[in-house]
Structure 1
Amino acid sequence: MSAITFDTLKFAERLEKAGMSRELASALAEAQKDSLAEVMEAQMATKGDVAALEKPLRLDLERVERKLIEHDGKFALLQWMIGIVIALALANFAQQFF
């Protein structure tokens, strides 16, 4: 299935106006259409191509999610540590002045 439409009649008529015979122009138009269809088929991704990429992409996504969860835990720990340091600094400050 080609995504590009190719008007073989218009192409053949242009070749005829340029001086080619009708038979040769029609044959060239059909050959050009077939050639374009082959190129488009070679470059299109099939359902099999997409399915082959799906599993590795899912594995990569799961790995990224695990890393995000791991970093989220580290961030929570860091928040507690900073809170404790600030509380100790305030306690030290209060002890010096009160």
Structure 2
Amino acid sequence: MGQVAFDTLQASEELETSGISREQARAISLVVRKSHEVADVATKADIAEVNRNIADVRKDMEHRFEKTDAQIADVRKDLSAEISDVRKDMEHRFDKNYAQMLARFEKTDAQISLVRKDMEALTNGLLIKLSRVIVITIGIVSTIATLIIKFS
């Protein structure tokens, strides 16, 4: 920041002309000069420069925020597309697995139906054989009973 110019010689001479001794005038002007050197006073130009810097930073930040917002929008768009693709893939896989499962159930049902037919055929065959055995057994028992009655 710029410093305010202070002419110690001129100040000392003015103090002398107003009636202060040369040593006192010189001491006063040196004290004032040192106080001006120590004080870092902002000028209107300094403040204007700071304001310009702040405005530049704001513009840069706005630009960066806009860029970041655009990047976030792109990421959202990409992510949405990927999620959509995953959903389609999952639906396809689900449909495929569902179709395979239905085919297996149909195959299993057909196999169960065949087993039932085989069991029914075996049962019918066994009933016929059992009926023959019963008829033969009844025939044998009646023959034995007839013989017992005849010989008794």
TM over 0.5: yes
Which residue in 1 is equivalent to 2:62?
Answer: 65
In 1, the alpha carbon distance for the partners of 2:37 and 2:53 equals: 27
Q: Secondary structure at the match of 2:67?
A: helix
Counterparts of residues 38-57 of structure 1 (less than 5 Å): 38-41=36-39, 43-57=40-54
Structure 2 residue aligned with 1:89, among 63, 86, 89? Answer: 86
Where structure 1 has 5 or more consecutive residues not aligned to the other structure, the ranges are 1-23
Gaps spanning 5+ residues in structure 2: where?
1-23, 96-152
Residue in 2 that maps onto 1:17:
none
Report the TM-score when normalising by structure 2. 0.39
The structure with more radius of gyration: 2
Name the structure, 1 or 2, with higher relative contact order (CA <8 Å, separation 6+): 1
Letter in 2 for 1:49: D
Equivalent residue for 1:34, pick from 29, 32, 35: 32
Q: Percent identity?
A: 17
RMSD after superposition: 2.7
Residues in 1 aligned to 2:30 and 2:53: alpha-carbon distance in whole angstroms:
38
Q: Which amino acid aligns with 1:57?
A: I
Give the match for residue 5 of structure 1.
Answer: none
Q: 1:33: Cα distance to partner?
A: 4.9
Measure the CA separation in 2 of the matches of 1:70 and 1:37.
Answer: 48
Higher helix share: 2
Q: Cα distance, 1:96 vs. partner?
A: 0.8
